[in-house]
Amino acid sequence: MSYSGPKIVVTPPGPKAAKLIEQDEKILSGSLTRSSPLVGEKALGMYIEDPDGNVFMDFGSGIAVTALGHRHPAVVKAIKNQLDKIIFVNSLDYYSAPQVEYAEKICALTPGDFEKRIFYTNSGSESVEAAIKMAKAHNRRPYGIGFINSFHGRTMGAISFTTTNVVGRRGFAPMYPIGQFVPYPYCYRCMFNRKYPSCGMECMNYLTDIMFKKILPPDEVSFIILEPIQGSGGYIVPPKEFFTRLRKICDEHGILLIADEVQTGFGRTGKMFACEHFGLEPDIITLSKAFAHGLPAGAAIAKAEVMDWDPGAHEGTLNGGPVIMEAAKAVLRVIDEEKLVENAAKMGTYLKTKLGVLQQKYPVIGDIRGLGLMVGIEFINDDKKTAAAELRDKLIQAAFQKGLLLLGAGVSSIRLAPPLIVKEREIDIALNIIEDCLKELV
């Protein structure tokens, strides 16, 4: 089985895919939103094949999960080896070596040259949930602060700090009642209508001058949680000054800084962790997505003195199972051996340069931004300002029909997040398809 490019043999969804989708829609939860009618049956590297024989090139990596591409042979081998040894060790009551081996590796790789501890989870939301709980267990303060337009997940703690849109929040109030929100530096659409750097970071001033003086006493704030680059919010990269000031504010008031690297982690941005771009050393870091090659896994890693909760304060039966941990160890090995962080940086530059050329031809491309292989394209209408959400949605569907998987983010952006193994040839194929779609749509 090998693929050399996208191949559409029947208009998708073909008969087999359409039948499955019909069955799915009768029995699976209606809360699931699917961006394209893709039925994944087989996959390898950059490609996913549906049951009708259509082959799609994956430029979203299932939201930054398949960083090594699908079914990397080294990870498949590690999983198979472990299946022959032991599949489950009750992580509440017993010990297993892969948990410790992985912990030693990942704690050395995450930002901050200090002693750390790790808590394993099964998803990004659970990692955020664990981070929130460990922060509160540590400093016993009531409040938490999040940023507007952030995505941290869907469990009750995580959704309480998720502000990308109201859909996930409607009907679930009261949320975790201690959350407050401040603006994120989304400079392309500044809430204060200012330009960086002459704005003096009005958004940060809101935190210090409004939030801390009129709404929340800072000494009652347990944590501030942020994505170093907003993912689902539209691949938004703040200026470095934002992080320097935030770290200083947190230190001044004894507030814990939680960096949610669920989407940005594992080389995606051209550094192992996005915080490294900004010299940020968070107190707690959350991980998932690319962690174990698509197996359900995640973690919250904290300074050792921060993760000081009591025995029994937080646990999970399936957390850090041996098969998952062996897959996770193999993921780290492959990232290192195949120099995927370097490739992400290099291919990201190539991708953005080529997109710049496309932008000259198509002014509907309002903004191109991102780091490494986490690249956002924001579409705008003819007025050169308002968000072209409909165009973005049509583009995703048109690309799908031509065998390219794209994912949306924010109001009118698409996120280009191909596997970190991507090469120039595949970027060229993807951009040609995007250009063909724009020709049809604009």
Ligand X SMILES: Cc1ncc(COP(=O)(O)O)c(C=O)c1O
66 versus 288: smaller Cβ distance to ligand X: 288
Alpha carbon 314 to chain centroid, angstroms: 24
Of these, 201, 262, 371, 417, which contacts ligand X (CB under 6 A)? 262
- Kindly state the smallest distance separating residue 425's Cβ from ligand X, in Å: 28
Q: Which residue has the tokens 């010990």?
A: 95
Please identify, among the stretches 54-62, 80-88, 112-120, 146-154, the one whose residues bind ligand X according to the rule CB under 6 A. Answer: 146-154
Kindly state the smallest distance separating residue 275's Cβ from ligand X, in Å.
13
Nearer to ligand X (CB atom), residue 54 or residue 288: 288
| Segment 60 to 119, residues that bind ligand X, using CB under 6 A | 63
Query: Binding string, 284-323, against ligand X, x = CB under 6 A?
Result: ----x-----------------------------------
Report H helices in 254-370: 322-337, 340-361
| CA neighbor of 331 nearest in space, from 118, 121, 109 | 109
Report the alpha-carbon distance of residue 292 to residue 65 in Å, rounded. 8
Residue 192 and residue 200: Cα distance in Å, rounded?
11
User: What stretch of H or E contains 285?
Assistant: strand 284-287
**Closest approach of ligand X to the CB of residue 232, in Å:** 5
- Angle between helix 340-361 and 424-441 (nearest 10): 30
Candidate list 67, 75, 128, 297; residue touching ligand X; CB under 6 A: 128
Comparison of 247 and 289: residue with beta carbon closer to ligand X: 289
- Footprint on residues 150-169 left by ligand X (CB under 6 A): 151-153
Chain position whose Cβ is nearest to ligand X: 124
Look at residues 307, 212, 315, 205 and name the one whose alpha carbon lies nearest to residue 256.
307
- The nearest distance, CB 190 to ligand X, in angstroms, is 22
* Least distance between ligand X and beta carbon 288 (Å): 5
β-bridge partners, 415: 376, 407
Do 12 and 397 contact (CB within 8 A), yes or no? Answer: no
Considering the complex, what minimum distance in angstroms separates the CB of residue 390 from ligand X? 23
State how far the alpha carbon of 3 is from the alpha carbons of 377, 401, 406, in Å.
27, 18, 18
Of residues 82, 99, 125, 412, which one binds ligand X by CB under 6 A? 125
- Give CA–CA dist 403/374, Å, rounded: 20
- Taking the least distance from each CB to ligand X, the nearer of 13 and 153 is 153
Write down the least CB distance from residue 267 to ligand X, Å.
Answer: 16
Instruction: Indicate the residue among 179 and 218 with the shorter CB distance to ligand X.
Output: 179
The closest of 307, 282, 285 to 298, measured between CA atoms, is 285
Reading the block at residue 412, the tokens are: 């009118």
Q: Which residues bind ligand X (CB under 6 A)?
A: 63, 123-125, 128, 151-153, 227, 231-232, 260, 262-263, 288
